[in-house]
Amino acid sequence: MLDFHIHLARLPHPKQLTQLLYSGDFDFIAIACEPWEWESTANLKKDFSTENKPFKTSYGIHPMIATQVSDADFEQLRSYLETDGVASVGECGLDKRYPGYGENGVQEAVFKRQIELAKELGRDLQIHCVGDYGRVVALLKAAKFSEVAGVSSSAKPVPRPVFHRFGGDAGIVRAALPMGAIFSLHADSFKKKSTLAAIPLIPAESVRFETDADETTFAGNATAENSVEQTVQTLKERWLAAKSLWENLRV
């Protein structure tokens, strides 16, 4: 089990939880999408990463805080990414529920800077989109992210766009596959008709599964808040739910 998108530092008892995950068969990419989370996630990596099971991270700026970030935050982001040479960039993208969403708005500017960072450093880009997927694809194309992704150089890993908690339609799948896109599926990816029709068009090697677990996942659940064993159980159930929805769609 590889959870392609989890906010580990936001979950109850993150240290004990990470320790327990490290002793089991549940692997993950720990996503950190605002400054305090960068630090907590980097500390978890420092404490738990091993040669056998390298701790995988992603550092970025979520569109929910796009209007609040400064150049200093970008400097700090770059330094986290340079320190952790295999970290992905993101999650970043567009979200219509937050300020700065409009065309040519702040969310776009903050997203574009992270597209450029991923290109420059040769890292995968974890993309969040609640709203216009077409605009996300257009921004990737305008930045020639697809051209970088299409060229395989032995010196640098090929950066891929990762559509986290994918909710786009068939047109988006067709437009993004030539960019080497990865589609990370969450149980919620199977709710919309247009996404249900799009998922079978994605080749199996481009599909991943995620829990997208964060502080809201266990809010008010006293058992989970008190027991890391229960949290691990819930994470596994969530991940398997996404996978089995995908398998059912294929038969």
Where do contacts with Zn ion occur on this chain (CB under 5 A)?
91
Work out how close the CB of 101 gets to Zn ion at its nearest, in angstroms, rounded to a whole number: 17
Query: Which 8-state DSSP code applies to residue 32?
Result: E
Work out how close the CB of 151 gets to Zn ion at its nearest, in angstroms, rounded to a whole number: 29
Return the SS3 of 7. Answer: coil
Alpha carbon distance 12, 73 (integer Å): 26
Work out how close the CB of 110 gets to Zn ion at its nearest, in angstroms, rounded to a whole number: 15
- Token pair 């720990």 is found at 30
Please name which of 109, 104, 178 lies closest in space to residue 141, comparing C-alpha atoms: 178
Name which of 91 and 108 has its Cβ closer to Zn ion.
Answer: 91
Please name which of 17, 10, 6, 9 lies closest in space to residue 226, comparing C-alpha atoms: 17
Alpha carbon distance 5, 32 (integer Å): 10
Contact 164, 127 (CB under 8 A): yes
Name which of 62 and 148 has its Cβ closer to Zn ion.
Answer: 62
Alpha carbon distance 170, 77 (integer Å): 33
Work out how close the CB of 154 gets to Zn ion at its nearest, in angstroms, rounded to a whole number: 32
Name which of 146 and 160 has its Cβ closer to Zn ion.
Answer: 160
Name which of 64 and 139 has its Cβ closer to Zn ion.
Answer: 64
Name which of 114 and 146 has its Cβ closer to Zn ion.
Answer: 114
Alpha carbon distance 188, 241 (integer Å): 10
Tokens matching residue 124 = 């995968």
Work out how close the CB of 219 gets to Zn ion at its nearest, in angstroms, rounded to a whole number: 16
Amino acid at 245: L
**Between β-strands 56-59 and 88-95, what pairing exists: parallel, antiparallel or unpaired?**
parallel
